[in-house]
Structure 1
């Protein structure tokens, strides 16, 4: 009768048991050895060789420099900046060793005692015993990452890290390994490396870290979100003292010093705290896009392509750091006021009125809604989620506010936010000097410098310039009377105040932005000629060859429009704007130089000079005159306001001989706007940004001298004829050329002549003053008693 299992086990002799166990141990040991050997040989993926370890290069952020050689930004996947050992605070070194690897100076990359402790306490006793990885093993993990091998992932990755750590110790000395570690490890807030972390949290170099600050940063290594001093100051404070206690335990710090330092508070000095820094995100994004394009045709000596995120490139731009700061301050200064006015203007009512499609579209475009829909959440549940208040950080022009509102109210708030954009270009070099694309890149990354919006009256100078190029006499008077264009669906242009009497010269019509005259000049010039000139001057968008184009019904970007205006300031010469001047590799070798293209003549110098003269009149006595009266600017300035239908877009182009600026303000949705032209016009919405910017520019000691030049005047013949035909001086006082005036009396009615060029756009129709009767003595006495 066969034996059962229990009887079989009992029948085995002790010698056989020992033999069996020995075989199992031998097979197990051999299996482990073969397993480790297979990892060593690269069967589960390559292990870095000694040669590779000698050439370890961490991903290093590319740095962006301004034209005045200031570091103004970084481009990175991981925000990292490497330093040498002697550029790191000794406090940070000691805190790191004491906390993360107390036997660092004793082992060769693998701490057998720590591994044994982990094995016994964690695996056998089921107790938490901390990590057993050395700093060298952590470097291996940070630099080369871990791979997924399913159930064998942990042992395979740990063995790979141990082999790599041993090789690291044979390749580098202890100081080099410490430096490599502190340049590699993540510190939170997407910062990698001790130098970047020191700059981010304390706005100082790694070498300047105090003992308290070093303990805070080293403490973050355990869990860089949980112990982040910005997010969780209480957690960071407790962890800091744990680090200090470890330093006492390992003889890096005295107990007396510990008692003093442990009481110190954590005083952060975040380098990205001010809201103004978020305005620079727009040009940084554009720089990243352009750099990638430039690098597409460049390769390394070894045939590999350059990587903007990891190669530590030096990108030199045309941005002037001082002008950029002035631009950002000017934008925030104005938008803070205009947004408050917008909110008071609507008095709590919804600007979209009964048109719920605006809110509905914005809701469906939101990330939250799309995520819920993707996860197949029901419409009823989505409505509930969108109406439930939650704590959020909300952007305002006065700073980031912590509020508790529903996602629906958050969307309503965003819809009603007015957005700005501003750009400044040197007309002689075509270099972009300042770029602000919106209110805050983090919250609203859409860049309005490149956005296409209807340009309004800022297009009119192209009409007048084309007319001059076609030989139309700038001294002729044009009737302000309305006219219907039958070939274009009986379209009849209107003026802002519905006044259609009198005659205007080109200068007067442009200064006061008279629509009827602009359209007549356009039709006399020929729409095709206007379109061709505008496109040669820098407008890239297709333009309709219709009469309404004279009033700016076409869409184009602020970048294109400002670029086109540089043609006037540069005497009729044009070249496309540039933002990057040079790209160097991490060693300082030039990869690519970006030169401005050779300017091409697209406008005669005389036409350019006449247009500058006309557009100076806009600033001196026309719709841009508040640059003089409100901002007290006394330099040579030309400009043009622009207002689109219903005040959806407010524009102002303002320039001096050495700098051309453009500003736009409006809501993301053109249906959101002020209800009255008083607030919706470009002179109110956009001009103040330009005015504040030029005020800062001309009062700054380092920039004001460069912008004191005058425009080149038109020819003497033009100025002589212009003087004869001018009925009024710049200050509005009558300055008649009697010969010209007498001739004009035969061409037009006297009342029309008297009104010529007196009324700015937006003003009320002038009324005749009533003659006051002389009271005489008795009338004065009766007046004392309130009697008429």
Structure 2
């Protein structure tokens, strides 16, 4: 009996332990469930709701796309991120990530139970337990916890909850794409697309196996494994990824061993607002977009953010033509600059880089430059310094990096220099502006606003305006053809010509001269324009009146201020390259002016079209008048100041006792154009046209007082025309661009005679306001 009682008591005691076990076990489960419920309700901190999970808030850069589908650049404040879809990732990227970060990724639902238990029992000694879904939830919503145990535990619980939600909300492929898109790979490589471009100049889908392994290896810690600062560590980390891929059967041992021996083979291509191609165009586009944003709010009334909202801007710029244009500038300008420096040594020109200025004028010019500088603005408004303190600071040497042409390429050199001396140094550099446009569509194909955006940010395509010289003369000739039905073959006497005072509101008599006054005889209009004869141009503007020419220019898209005075005939107004290209395009487009177009459409991050351009066109000239004007301008490149486009030339520079070979243009197709040179050789222009492309080029210094001493090098045919020739040679070499080599289209029922073979001028081409540089080149 006593024994039975003892056995019964033992059983009761045992069952008590069982009850306690189940109570603790179930209590633990209920506690875990409660904790997860509390976390999901936000008791452990803010949690994303359904809307946030569907649209996680990430900063997305605005991307600028060229007409041929290339990325020209991006607008971003902090995050240079452009998302890609799963189908835009290479398979090697996907395999490398799974093998390295989450080998059971396709088997779990956000939490890897085996990995979690392993991490728990071995205290993380055999690897962590965070799945890709958990790591994404941390990146998107949770953030990095503090070092306290409670904080880390809370973070892990929130990660688990959000990871399971993400798994219900998205497919495995969508989660993986988001993970690649959210990660910061360093060096402005926010997201896999930026990283692929910056480190390898590729799209993610084009990455090789070893490139994919390197980028996946950076997920461990992109600050530590930075391929620019720590290439050895990055290579070792890449090899770990390759070993993981071999371990789980994604690659063979032979492939692993082979790739582990290779270098990283980076092709570092930095992305910033001042690097890459089309920098000046992107500067213009920044202003265009800010203006568009002011006028076009979001559907909810808030403003678009250019730097965070992930817009896509589709532009007319062709990346190939843009590259050819920039290369042409980079090829010509160092040679022209070398000649300028040669002529403006302190020995040859004590006031270099300025000519014909007194010391007082130079001092005034430099003081004006001080007040317009960023240094003055910063010290005046940010540091609250007095004017005297600021002026004195310009005479204190400071460390700086200055621009230079080195071995024919744009470069920087570190130096110690007074800011005032750096100002004078930069005023010695010749600048340029160039724009190329399809005259039929108005699409701008290339835009080069200067020689180097990092150091010369003032855009000389649309922002800057300069005196245009003889490139304005075709408008005077066109007005005469339109109003008086003149033919290119009509002859005019080449004699001194004056327009009396007060005839057109001009207070004084105006008597323009030719640069070489060999007067006498006659010239056809074609010959006169080809050789830029001022006296004939003066006769034409007197016949049609200055106001007629101004009205024509306005119809052709010139918005700059112009006075209706006789001297306008020789190009006295300040006009931009942008306006001049638009005006000339009407000649190639059979008299129809098409406003230049730079942006075709804008989309939001979901691909919804927010803006689509509408062409702006107007009939300005008859087809006949436009064609006759083109025939006149073809004479410029056949026998006038633009004839150097037709051949290769040499010049024996006895000063250097060597023969220097010129640019090999050798263009044989029909080209219409006009050179331009302003007073004192301050500005050099060339406007050139073929049937489906019009391109304008300007070259000059920041200040008009900095210029070549003589017209030998200071004319448009030498300063600007070479850039056009080099650019067009590159465009023609790229047959995919389909740049026309055909004749300009002749209108039906042409009534004006354009065949001047029977009308020969009694004068030669020697009398011109611009030298024909057939034997000119740079040393």
Q: TM-score range by the shorter chain?
A: 0.7 to 0.9
Question: Residues 202 and 223 of structure 1: is their aligned pair in 2 closer, same or farther, counting only changes over 3 Å?
Answer: same
In structure 1, list runs of 5 or more residues that go unmatched. 1-33, 122-129, 729-753, 765-788
Find the residue that maps to 1:192 and give its secondary structure. coil
CA deviations over 1:353-373 (Å, ceiling 9, x no partner): 752555555566555665466
1:671 aligns with 2:708: no
Question: Residues 148 and 415 of structure 1: is their aligned pair in 2 closer, same or farther, counting only changes over 3 Å?
Answer: farther
Question: Residues 267 and 443 of structure 1: is their aligned pair in 2 closer, same or farther, counting only changes over 3 Å?
Answer: farther
Cα deviation for residue 352 of structure 1 reads 3.2
For residues 271-286 of structure 1, the aligned pairs below 5 Å read: 271=269, 278-286=276-284
Matching residue of 2:536: 517
1:710 paired residue among 744, 747, 758: 744
Contact 2:492 2:524 (C-alpha < 8 Å) held by counterparts: yes
Farther off after superposition, 475-484 or 87-96: 87-96
Question: Residues 142 and 552 of structure 1: is their aligned pair in 2 closer, same or farther, counting only changes over 3 Å?
Answer: farther
Query: TM-score, normalization: structure 2?
Result: 0.74
Find the residue that maps to 1:434 and give its secondary structure. strand
1:108 aligns with 2:107: no
1:634 aligns with 2:636: no
Matching residue of 1:48: 48
Cα deviation for residue 462 of structure 1 reads 1.6
Cα deviation for residue 203 of structure 1 reads 3.0
CA distance in 2, matches of 1:257, 1:610: 68
1:418 aligns with 2:430: yes
CA distance in 1, matches of 2:273, 2:578: 24
Matching residue of 1:481: 496
For residues 49-64 of structure 1, the aligned pairs below 5 Å read: 49-56=49-56, 58-64=58-64
CA distance in 2, matches of 1:415, 1:113: 70
Question: Residues 109 and 52 of structure 1: is their aligned pair in 2 closer, same or farther, counting only changes over 3 Å?
Answer: farther
Question: Residues 526 and 379 of structure 1: is their aligned pair in 2 closer, same or farther, counting only changes over 3 Å?
Answer: closer
CA distance in 1, matches of 2:230, 2:401: 17
Query: TM-score, normalization: structure 1?
Result: 0.73
For residues 358-437 of structure 1, the aligned pairs below 5 Å read: 358=365, 362=369, 365=372, 367=374, 370-371=377-378, 374-375=382-383, 382=393, 386-388=397-399, 398-401=408-411, 403-406=413-416, 408=419, 411-437=423-449
CA distance in 1, matches of 2:365, 2:229: 36
Farther off after superposition, 418-427 or 357-366: 357-366
For residues 283-682 of structure 1, the aligned pairs below 5 Å read: 283-287=281-285, 289-290=287-288, 309=307, 315-347=313-345, 350-352=352-354, 354=359, 355-356=362-363, 358=365, 362=369, 365=372, 367=374, 370-371=377-378, 374-375=382-383, 382=393, 386-388=397-399, 398-401=408-411, 403-406=413-416, 408=419, 411-450=423-462, 451-471=464-484, 475=490, 477-481=492-496, 483=498, 485-487=500-502, 488-490=506-508, 492-495=510-513, 497=515, 499=517, 501-502=519-520, 503-584=522-603, 590-597=609-616, 599-630=617-648, 631-682=665-716
For residues 90-169 of structure 1, the aligned pairs below 5 Å read: 92=93, 108=111, 139-140=136-137, 142-143=139-140, 164=162, 167-168=165-166
Matching residue of 1:761: 769
CA distance in 2, matches of 1:582, 1:473: 43
Contact 1:485 1:491 (C-alpha < 8 Å) held by counterparts: yes
CA distance in 1, matches of 2:681, 2:614: 39
CA distance in 1, matches of 2:706, 2:220: 49
For residues 700-739 of structure 1, the aligned pairs below 5 Å read: 700-703=734-737, 706-712=740-746, 718-719=752-753, 726-728=759-761
Contact 2:111 2:131 (C-alpha < 8 Å) held by counterparts: no
CA distance in 1, matches of 2:430, 2:407: 10
CA distance in 2, matches of 1:38, 1:367: 55
Contact 1:278 1:441 (C-alpha < 8 Å) held by counterparts: no
Cα deviation for residue 559 of structure 1 reads 1.0
Cα deviation for residue 615 of structure 1 reads 1.4
CA distance in 1, matches of 2:507, 2:600: 49
Cα deviation for residue 658 of structure 1 reads 2.8
Matching residue of 2:654: none
1:71 aligns with 2:73: no
Find the residue that maps to 1:447 and give its secondary structure. coil
Cα deviation for residue 675 of structure 1 reads 1.9
Matching residue of 2:181: 183
Cα deviation for residue 651 of structure 1 reads 0.7
CA deviations over 1:79-102 (Å, ceiling 9, x no partner): 334344565456655765787789
Cα deviation for residue 650 of structure 1 reads 0.9
Cα deviation for residue 535 of structure 1 reads 0.4
Farther off after superposition, 49-58 or 371-380: 371-380
Cα deviation for residue 403 of structure 1 reads 2.9
Find the residue that maps to 2:694 and give its secondary structure. strand
Contact 1:481 1:500 (C-alpha < 8 Å) held by counterparts: no
Cα deviation for residue 345 of structure 1 reads 2.6
Contact 1:85 1:179 (C-alpha < 8 Å) held by counterparts: yes
Cα deviation for residue 183 of structure 1 reads 1.2
RMSD over aligned Cα atoms: 4.9
CA deviations over 1:506-536 (Å, ceiling 9, x no partner): 3333222122332343233222221111101
Find the residue that maps to 1:190 and give its secondary structure. coil
Contact 1:618 1:640 (C-alpha < 8 Å) held by counterparts: yes
The number of aligned residues is 694
In structure 2, list runs of 5 or more residues that go unmatched. 1-33, 649-664, 773-779
Cα deviation for residue 590 of structure 1 reads 4.5
CA distance in 1, matches of 2:142, 2:518: 75
Contact 2:61 2:308 (C-alpha < 8 Å) held by counterparts: yes
Cα deviation for residue 480 of structure 1 reads 2.9
CA distance in 1, matches of 2:485, 2:95: 81
Question: Residues 251 and 500 of structure 1: is their aligned pair in 2 closer, same or farther, counting only changes over 3 Å?
Answer: closer
Farther off after superposition, 685-694 or 605-614: 605-614
